[in-house]
Structure formats: structure tokens, C-alpha cells
Amino acid sequence: MAPAKGEWHKLPLALSELCLSSVLRCGQSFRQLPATIQRERKKRKKERKEINRWVDRWKSSNPGEWTCALKGRILTLRQDDSHLHYRAVFPVTAAAPWKDDTVELIRDYFNLDINLTKLYERWSAADAHFLKKAVRFAGIRMLRQDPWENLVSFICSSNNNISRISQMVVDKLCTNFGPKLGEADGHTYHDFPSPGALMGDGTEQRLRELGFGYRAKYISTTARIVAQERLAGWLDGLRKVDYKDAHEALLELSGVGPKVADCVCLMSLDKAEAVPVDTHVWQIAQRDYGFGRGKHKSLTKATYKAIGDHFRKLWGQEAGWAHSVLFTADLKAFADVKLEGVKTEEVQVEKTTTKRITARKVKMENNKEGPEEGGEVVKLDPASVDDDKGNGVEGETVVEQKVVRKVKRSLKLEVREGEDANVSLELQDVTTLADRVKRRRRC
């Protein structure tokens, strides 16, 4: 079927409210891997590791653009400093023309009615660890995905890596069971298959042939339960019940454990307090929040619940949203996030240097050098420093310290989206001398 090309439109949206590149790469959804990258990863195993971490439901179709088959259309997005640009491509059919509800879809899918800036301010005030990450990772918000697609995607995530999940969900599930929507920019797009499309005779065997392994039974069984044993709209209806009831209802499905249930609750059922605890979150809880000792020495069921309760107490009812920021910051795929263009407004460098020089040079430097602008140079008394005569060096150690009381930095966040595109964001960060001393002691 030939797609009906759409024109580019735009929505006013600050980068602090949505950083498109980060949100679409942080593992909330699973995008199709472009054929060019599939060929490239076969050639270079070393680079394949990095490419695999960047796999999601969304496809990086062109530099700076992201494309996905979503709700009966092929949707392409791009972003600049002040706007989110979008284009929808609908399939041409003999039926009545499609109602273009793309704006409503985008606002719903990205939860744009929630003010993320205010949430960041609240979380940063409550948690110093969050504040440190927020400076570099602004605009991380939770998607509001289709519950059925989200459920199946995370069933596939069991004991799996992102690359294989993406191949299963898109390259195999969508291609073999989902309706074809058309082509855009040289790529073919299929919508996600319905529960009815995954419950027929022979589906489990077909899924096994496609490489789903033991997950094939989970998918076909859960599809049958949702399509035949639950009322129509049951899964979407879990958005209207409380978190505990929704979580317990999901646990009744095949292949769904506590973490998968929490992922679905958080990413598609409006349960912002759900905190999925996986390897990354467990490591964060140990490193930054005191877990890993005593009764929480290992990640047991009780520890899983304790971590979630701790974050809910710390961050409030949107703890799942806050946790996703730390989760994203912990991913190696985001090692390319840089802070550049630092602008100084006050005294801003704390420097400690150690020089081993002769006594004569000490006298010369004391006569020659004065305090640098914006700070004090503090020199230790040479008499208080041990000689190093045993090594044949006659001299003393002189420590120069530039004393800084306060630092204010204007930071520019740059996220690479490929070789030819990037997104930038300016933020403010205030650092005190005490903060820097603490950081240095931890090193």
C-alpha cells in the first residue's frame, strides 16, 4: 500500500521538558534496527556492542530524526531547542480518510501534560544524588505506551539483551504478525500485532522457529488470556485501578514477574510510583543509597520492595519517573553525553597542585608570583615539609591551593544522535566548596 505523505508540523516544547534522543534510547520501548546498521554490526563486532545498546522501538531513520509505526501511522519526529517537529504518514485505503489526531497522540504518548521541570526541582531538593545526575540528564520523561505492546515487549526482555529484544519485538513479531503500514525513507514499517494475532494455532511453534525460545509459550498464552479470558479493554482498564491492584493483576499473566509488572505499570498504566528494580537499579541502590548490607545484602523479594519503598519515600508519588533519570544516567550507551561550553560568572576553579622544587626556586617564585585573580594562593611553610635528601633532591614540597567559596556554572548539554546531529541544552548548577571537598574525598 502506498503511504500518504504528511507535511512537517511543530509543537512548542523546551528541551528541559523532553530530550527526545535520551527518552527514545533509554530502554522504555524497543525500536527497529535499520538494515544498514544490521549489516554494519556483522562486519565489526567491537562496534556492535555499542550499536546493540541503542536499539529501541523507534528507528533513527535520518540524522536527527526518529521514526516508528504507531497507532496506524508512520510517525517521524525531530527536535530543536524550542520545538518538537512531527510528520505523520498514513496508509492510503479505500475507506474514509484518516482523522489526523497526531497532536493528541504525541501529547498522550509523551505524557506532555505533566510538568517535568517542576518535578526535577522537587526531586533535586529532596535528593543530592538526583541533583548531580539532573544537571546532565534533563528532559527524561516516561512514555505512555500501549499496554499490550509494552507487556509483550517486556515479556521478551526476560534474561535477554536489548538487541535481541528489539529483533524479537520488531523484526520478528511485527514483521510476521503485524499489519504492514507502508514504507518511509526506504524502510518498511509494520504496526504491533493484536492479542488475537498471537493466539492462533501454531503461533507458539512459529515463535520458537523465529528464535523466541521459552518466551514463545509466555506470549501465546498471555495473548489467549487477554483475548479470550478477560473482558474487552481489560488491560487498558488497569489504568483506572490503583498500583497494587494493577501489579497483582499483571502477575497472573504468563511470563510476568514483579519487575515486568512494574515496567508495564510505570510505562503504560499511569502508575508513576512503580519502581522496576533490575541490575542497574540494584547497583545504584548499593552505590548511592546504602543498600547491599545487612538484611538487604542481596536482591531478594524483600529487598526489591524495600528499594521501591525507599525511593517512593524519598521522591514521592512520581518515584518511577525519578528513578528513570538515574537509570538512564547509569547506562553505558549515554557515555557520550558531555558538558561543554562552561561559562564562568564567579570564582569557579578549585585547584590543588603540588610542586617539588629547590629552596632557591621557592624564594624566587614567592617573589615573582602573586595570588591568581579570584582566589588566594596558600603556601606551606618550607620548614614544615620533610626534605627528600635521601633521593638526592634538596628541596621542599610546596602546595598551592586556590580557595573557592562558591561556583556557578552555565552548562551546555550535548547529546550526540549520530555523526551529523546533536541536541544542546543550557542548565544552571551551583557548587559549594564543601561539595567539592566531599567529592574529592570519595575519589
Tell me, what's the pLDDT at 175?
87
The domains found in the chain, sorted by start residue, are: 3-113+143-271 (1.10.340.30), 338-344+407-442 (no CATH), 352-403 (no CATH)
235 contacts 247 by C-beta, under 8 angstroms: no
**406 flagged as catalytic:** no
> 218: closest CA among 187, 266, 257?
257
Tell me, what's the pLDDT at 159?
60
277 contacts 299 by C-beta, under 8 angstroms: yes
Tell me, what's the pLDDT at 293?
87
> Dihedral angle at the C-alpha atoms of 306, 247, 208, 205, nearest 10 degrees?
150
> 327: closest CA among 388, 268, 263, 254?
263
Residues of the chain with pLDDT under 50: 1-3, 31-56, 94, 339-433, 436-437
Tell me, what's the pLDDT at 438?
55
Tell me, what's the pLDDT at 272?
97
The burial of 290, by beta-carbon neighbours within 10 Å (0-12 exposed, 13-18 middle, 19 or more buried), is given as exposed
Residue 68: in which H helix or E strand, if any?
strand 65-70
Is the pTM for the entire model greater than 0.85? no
Angle of the 319-330 helix axis to the 279-289 helix axis, nearest 10 = 90
The SS3 assignment for 295 reads: helix
Tell me, what's the pLDDT at 442?
54
Q: CA-to-CA distance for 239 and 105, rounded, in angstroms?
A: 17
Tell me, what's the pLDDT at 207?
92
pLDDT digits (tens, 9 = 90+) for 271-305: 999 999 988 899 999 999 999 888 888 999 999 99
pLDDT digits (tens, 9 = 90+) for 362-378: 344 444 444 333 333 33
> 158: closest CA among 214, 110, 197?
214
Q: Which of 259, 361, 402, 412 is catalytic?
A: 259
